[in-house]
Structure 1
Amino acid sequence: MTVYAEVIGDPIAQSKSPAIHGFWIEKLGLDAEYRAHHVAADQLAAYCDARRADPDWRGCNVTMPHKQAIMPLLDRLEPLAKRVGAVNTVVKASDGKLVGRNTDVAGFLEPLRLRLGETHYFRMARILGTGGAARAIVAGLAGEGFTLVLAGRNPDKARALLDELDSGGEHHVAPLDHFADASDFPFDDREGCCDLVVNASPLGMRGQPPLAFDWSHAPPGSIAYDIVTDPVQTAFLKNAREAGFATIDGLAMLIGQAAAAFTHFFGVEPPRKDDAELRERLAG
């Protein structure tokens, strides 16, 4: 029988995961499949039981709204998934147990690795949004020595998130609309610093309101990083480029987290030399 993995969520039709994993399966010539499977909240426990008993199932990616709800239904959680408080990848172990992992952190950090390998005397990230995606981003950047400014519609929620994920850090919160209007803050010489501005919210996604961010709030040399994937080139990134900042789009994180999951599912690394072709296929 052909082994398979899949992505689950509610809704699920919009997921790009089948295109990504299917591309790699095709390139490697694997006898495997990757599917999309709609699972409603009240079906999640039954889904886990059924897949635990399926010898051909290798695991699944987990998208909204199940990244936290699935955790108590699993047999084990890797330490990072416990720390983040969210699972985006479930793998069946050799003993048949379901193991919850988080590859969102690795996926988010992947396009930053060269920069993070440098020595900086200060690192700061402005993270816009306090939803599920922000959990992995906060955990990942805190682990890389960043001071964080977490902005949301509810600053109390932002503070609670920072206290949960990195209680010992000297982080800050701000209302999201603080960044909508121009600032005349006199940034100091940022040479030797690493500054990020991350849209971790759905704002700017197709069908969602735009993200209001004035780039006078970004220190010189900042990198703009938007995790939105539809559209890939958001107004947030366009405005950042026009203001002279480097940018990273949402496909970088999406492909990065998928690559880590693919290796867990099928026991081989995906052919990353073909990323440009994969991006063209996803854009099409």
Structure 2
Amino acid sequence: MTLVAGVAGQPIAHSLSPAIHGAWIAAAGLDAVYRAFGPADAEAFAGLVEEGRRGALRGLNVTAPFKAQALALADEASETARACGAANLLVFEDGRVRADSTDGLGLMAALAEQAPDLDVRGRPVVVLGAGGAARAAAAALKAAGAEVGVLNRTVERARTLADDLGVAVVDADATGEAVLVVNALSVPPAIDLAALRDDAVLMDMTYRPLVTGFLAEGRARGLTTVDGLAMLIGQARPSFRALFGVEPPDVDVRAAALAALGEAT
């Protein structure tokens, strides 16, 4: 019987997850498919989860705007998902829904790959934003031993995140001391890159475009940069294991994702 899994979000046509998981499925020779699902609204997403409960789906990766709802609909959730207040992975088994968040694993994997000399332990890092992506980043970096500061235009949202996760709220001046600045906003950040330390690392959780203006400006300053595609692939690896029960094969899924993205580098 063909295993059916996929990614659910709205909009979803831009997602590179089918290209990534599809490449692994093909390389592993699995009788499986990984599809994009675009529920129109919360009610439709809840219906999709019910299909999973009935056995029609093995599991789902979940993206905006359904991550918080995914956690709320689950019967059980990992400590990480609860800390983030959101889930990007649902696994269906025997009528039950298990929620997890692999975004933090993806972030740390991306840093290890593209900024291998960075050590955040005991050092200041700044996360820009206070939404679900920022929560995942802050939780993962705190777990890695970093001194995490959250910077957001709406201070009250930053304070809520900080109180939930036990991190700090900071102002723009804090970026000047940070060894890592992570953009978890859906818009270009308004920070002065000229004020950053010369060995700072910049990461953007967005992957469209692959080299955002934030990363391009950082590269022009000679800073190490980490792109959102590396994070997407990093979070997909544990998702693939959970969904299909096997290790992702050693194939170049970044090339497959770049082809789908329409970029060559």
TM-score normalised according to structure 1 size: 0.84
In structure 2, do the counterparts of structure 1 residues 160 and 84 end up closer, same or farther at CA, with 3 Å as the change threshold? same
Indicate yes or no: 2:191 matched with 1:213: yes
Q: Which of 1 and 2 has higher RCO (CA within 8 Å, sep 6+)?
A: 2
Q: CA deviation at 1:118?
A: 7.6
Contact 2:42 2:66 in 1 (8 A): yes
Q: 1:225 & 1:45 partners in 2: Cα distance? A: 33
Deviations 1:129-176 (A, max 9, x none): 11221010010111112112211111121111111112xx4x2322xx
Indicate yes or no: 2:245 matched with 1:267: yes
What is the match of residue 50 of structure 1? 51
Tell me, what secondary structure is at the counterpart of 1:65?
A: coil
Deviations 1:153-207 (A, max 9, x none): 11121111111112xx4x2322xxx47xxx9x7x6xxxxxx8101111111xxxx
Counterpart residue identity of residue 135, structure 2? R
Counterpart residue identity of residue 200, structure 2? S
Counterpart residue identity of residue 234, structure 2? G
Q: 1:91 & 1:117 partners in 2: Cα distance? A: 35
What is the match of residue 255 of structure 2? 277
What is the match of residue 100 of structure 2? 101
Q: 2:69 & 2:181 partners in 1: Cα distance? A: 29
Q: CA deviation at 1:44?
A: 2.6
What is the match of residue 17 of structure 1? 17
What is the match of residue 110 of structure 2? 111
Contact 2:181 2:201 in 1 (8 A): yes
What is the match of residue 198 of structure 1? 182
Moved more, 251-260 or 273-282: 273-282
Contact 1:108 1:137 in 2 (8 A): yes
In structure 2, do the counterparts of structure 1 residues 15 and 279 end up closer, same or farther at CA, with 3 Å as the change threshold? closer
Counterpart residue identity of residue 267, structure 1? G
Contact 1:75 1:98 in 2 (8 A): yes
Q: CA deviation at 1:228?
A: 0.8
What is the match of residue 191 of structure 1? none
Q: CA deviation at 1:22?
A: 0.9
Moved more, 71-80 or 224-233: 71-80
What is the match of residue 205 of structure 2? 227
* Structure 2 residues without counterparts, runs of 5 or longer: none
In structure 2, do the counterparts of structure 1 residues 60 and 111 end up closer, same or farther at CA, with 3 Å as the change threshold? same
In structure 2, do the counterparts of structure 1 residues 13 and 119 end up closer, same or farther at CA, with 3 Å as the change threshold? closer
Q: 1:33 & 1:107 partners in 2: Cα distance? A: 22
Q: CA deviation at 1:212?
A: 2.6
Q: CA deviation at 1:217?
A: 2.8
Indicate yes or no: 2:42 matched with 1:64: no
Identity percentage of aligned residues: 39
Q: CA deviation at 1:215?
A: 1.3
Tell me, what secondary structure is at the counterpart of 1:99?
A: strand
In structure 2, do the counterparts of structure 1 residues 37 and 275 end up closer, same or farther at CA, with 3 Å as the change threshold? closer
When the two chains are superposed, the root-mean-square deviation of aligned CA atoms in Å is 2.3
Q: 2:245 & 2:185 partners in 1: Cα distance? A: 32
Counterpart residue identity of residue 263, structure 1? R
The structure number with the bigger radius of gyration is 1
Tell me, what secondary structure is at the counterpart of 1:64?
A: coil
Indicate yes or no: 2:26 matched with 1:26: yes
Divergent runs of 4+, >6 A:
114-121
Indicate yes or no: 2:218 matched with 1:236: no
Contact 1:159 1:173 in 2 (8 A): no
What is the match of residue 190 of structure 1? none
Q: CA deviation at 1:119?
A: 6.4
Q: What is the aligned residue count?
A: 259
In structure 2, do the counterparts of structure 1 residues 280 and 14 end up closer, same or farther at CA, with 3 Å as the change threshold? closer
Tell me, what secondary structure is at the counterpart of 1:271?
A: coil
Q: 1:18 & 1:224 partners in 2: Cα distance? A: 27
